[in-house]
Amino acid sequence: MSVRLVLQSLLNTEGFLHFAWVIPAAFLVVVFLLGYVRFILALLKRMRRLFLIAGSTFVGGALGMEMVAVRYRVCS
């Protein structure tokens, strides 16, 4: 049994969360962010804002597009 099938059965994923890896990936992103809180707070205010915007755009785009891709992969 593949990891994908195990995650889907354990987490009972359907719809946008059909790709079950999105849930643990989002959790790991939060853990990573918490690990770098001191670094982020040490940045200048403008740099901190730009850094967080860039990171959230990158991660949000990756996870968001995976969730949108479900519609095209499952429905076709």
Q: How confident is the model at residue 34 (pLDDT cuts 50, 70, 90)?
A: very high
In b/e form, how buried is each residue of 21-44, taking b as 16+ CB within 10 angstroms? bbeeeeeebeeeeeeeeeeeeeee
Query: Any alpha helices (H) in the chain, and if so which ranges?
Result: 3-11, 22-35, 37-42, 45-75
Q: How confident is the model at residue 1 (pLDDT cuts 50, 70, 90)?
A: low
Q: How confident is the model at residue 21 (pLDDT cuts 50, 70, 90)?
A: confident
Total domain count for the chain? 1
> Residue 27: pLDDT above 80?
yes
Q: What angle do CA 62, 64, 70 make, to 5 degrees?
A: 105
